[in-house]
Copies of this chain bind each other. A is one copy, B any other.
Amino acid sequence: MLNQFRIILCQTSHPGNIGSAARAMKTMGLNQLYLVQPKHFPDTEANALACGAVDLLENAVVCETLEDALKGCALAIGMSARKRQISHELISARTAAIRAAEISANQQQVALVFGTEMSGLSNRELDLCQLLAMIPTNPDFSSLNVAAAVQVMCYELRMASSESKLVESESKTPLATSDDVEGFYQHLEETLIKIGFLNPQEPKKLMPRVRRIYARARLEKEEVNILRGILKLTQHPKNYHQKNDGDKE
């Protein structure tokens, strides 16, 4: 699905930006790079900044015109750093990524089109795009580097694509059961009374407050064991015994 996305860079001046863009694409799983009239390409600086993504540069398609680069695409999204006069539909990068992902899910190609470092896309180039997307920036300093813009857009494309069904905490260690945790709370309460922190005649809101802390932590089985180990020694400290009456545990 991510290989349905095409990144098109128009008239890029600095070859380093092409290299960084290739690296940005590959980290997000994209691989189709199109270059319209790049100033310098191929170029050693592009290769240096691509790091392990030189294969994308080697396979990059160099075109004379944006029309050529767009051939076969079902949707072309122009990227803009600022609001433009023209009456294109202006959407956020995130919305653009969602629309692009929907189309790519049907095995159709989608192009993301980036303009020059100095002035972005020309109006003529924009006319070839069906949508205009903007990465939200600081209105006082919107000078996003072109490779950085490619990075953000490719990240959004990855997030929007189903392949990003992702990271979130696959904590494999088993959580404590509620009876484990209740056993711990009971042990804790008893200990707090013993050390004189909790007055059973006037418990106030202490236990509910303490329970909230551990509830938020979502304790694992092993952690309950550690905490109960601490409570056990709180009630019968090893060193304390030895110093005071030489008791053996």
Residues on A close to B: CB < 8 A? Answer: 20, 23-24, 26-29, 51-53, 87, 89-92, 94-95, 134-138, 141-145, 147-148, 151-152, 155, 158-159, 162, 164, 166-171, 173, 192, 194-197, 206, 209-210, 213-214, 216-220, 223, 226-227, 229-230, 233-234, 237-240, 244
- Tell me whether B51 and A196 are in contact (CB under 8 A): no
Q: Which of B24, B145, B244 contacts A20 (CB 8 A)?
A: B145
A239 near B138 with CB under 8 A, answer no
Q: With a 10 A CB-CB cut-off, give which of A142, A155, A192, A229 has the most chain B CB atoms.
A: A155
- Residues of B close to A90: CB separation below 8 A: 167-171
CA distance A216 to B158 in the complex (A): 27
- In contact, A136 and B151 (Cβ under 8 angstroms): no
Name A244's closest neighbour in chain B (CB-CB). B244
Contact check, B152 vs A136: say whether CB atoms are below 8 A apart: no
| Contact (Cβ within 8 A) A168 B91 | yes
**CB<8 Å pairs between A and B, sample of 21:** A26-B138, A27-B142, A87-B220, A89-B169, A90-B167, A91-B167, A91-B168, A136-B167, A138-B158, A151-B152, A194-B237, A196-B233, A196-B237, A196-B239, A197-B233, A197-B238, A206-B226, A209-B226, A213-B214, A214-B217, A244-B244
Q: How far is the CB of A168 from chain B (nearest CB, A)?
A: 6
A171 to B164, CA, bound (A): 27
Task: Give the most central of A27, A166, A233, A234: most B CB within 10 Å.
Answer: A27
User: Shortest Cβ distance from A226 into chain B, in angstroms?
Assistant: 6
| CA gap between A167 and B162 in the complex, in Å | 24
Which residues of chain B are within 8 angstroms of A196 by Cβ–Cβ distance? 233, 237-240
5 more CB-based (< 8 A) A-B contacts, given A195-B230, A195-B240, A197-B229: A23-B143, A136-B159, A136-B162, A195-B239, A216-B218
Contacts of A234 in B (CB 8 A): 195, 234
A-B pairs, 6 with minimum CB distance: A196-B238, A29-B138, A195-B237, A217-B217, A195-B233, A216-B217
Contact for A169 among B91, B169, B227, CB less than 8 A: B91
